[in-house]
Structure 1
Amino acid sequence: MNEKMLVVTTENIPGREYEVIGEVFGLTTQSKNVFKNIGASLKNIVGGEIKAYSEMLEESRDISIDRLRENAAKMGADAVVMMRFDSGSIGTDMQSVAAYGTAVKFK
């Protein structure tokens, strides 16, 4: 993993010129264990934040960005621009998160 690789949500990196290499992705699908699912179901009755799912989504986001960086590094990129997230549910207890963007090489 290359934690020093710059990942930005903007189209341009101020003061840098680059050439586009191509699209990059990082994907993960996560699930919580049955006990946390039961806790979430109980919380659903009274309302409020379901912290187990918030933690799962935060972990999924971090993993997807790490995988995005790995994918970009394998392509020889120096940075990723226009990074975005997409997410969706699979069934009732799984969440898929994708980070995607454009890999670039500095001139």
Structure 2
Amino acid sequence: MAEDHFIISTTEHIPGKEYEVIGEVFGLTTQSKNVVRNIGAGLKNIVGGEIKDYTKMLDEARNISVDRLKQNAIKMGADAVVMMRFDSGSIGADMQSVAAYGTAVKYK
């Protein structure tokens, strides 16, 4: 299966495809906040509003975790991932962890 045709779905079924379950698959990353982002966040905290540097950091972390999920699924021999979800959380005061997880499947 070509990587550019690899399907990652948040649904349980892929229309028109029959498949067997291979197993659970994960993609993980942890990002650290830097000093510039912390200063900007501190100032934004005073006046309110979106902290764009943090939003950018979380978006990058999400993209990295999905790419790692895909690469791990391909290593397992999967053709797709269904039921993909995200989980995230803080590690201490300066780090954010993002996990993408789902079920790796192989087409019949």
Q: Tell me whether the two structures share a fold, i.e. TM-score over 0.5.
A: yes
Residue 43 of structure 1: aligned partner: 44
State yes or no: 1:81 paired with 2:91. Answer: no
Q: RMSD in angstroms over aligned alpha carbons?
A: 0.9
Aligned to 1:64: 65
Deviation at 1:4, TM superposition (A): 3.3
Q: CA deviation at 1:3?
A: 4.4
Ranges of 4+ aligned residues in structure 1 off by more than 4 Å: none
Unaligned runs of 5+ in 2: none
SS at match of 1:16: coil
Deviations 1:7-60 (A, max 9, x none): 000000011000000000000000121111111111111100000100010000
- State the match for 1:14 in structure 2: 15
Counterparts of 1:31 and 1:4 in 2: how far apart (Å)?
A: 32
What is the CA–CA distance in structure 2 between the aligned matches of 1:95 and 1:68, rounded to whole Å? Answer: 18
Q: Which runs of 5+ in 1 are unaligned?
A: none
Structure 2 CA distance, aligned partners of 1:40 and 1:77? 41
In structure 2, what residue type is equivalent to 1:66? D
Rounded to whole Å, the distance in 2 between the matches of 1:34 and 1:82 is: 36
* TM-score (norm. length: structure 1): 0.95
Taking only the aligned residue pairs, the percentage that are identical comes to 77
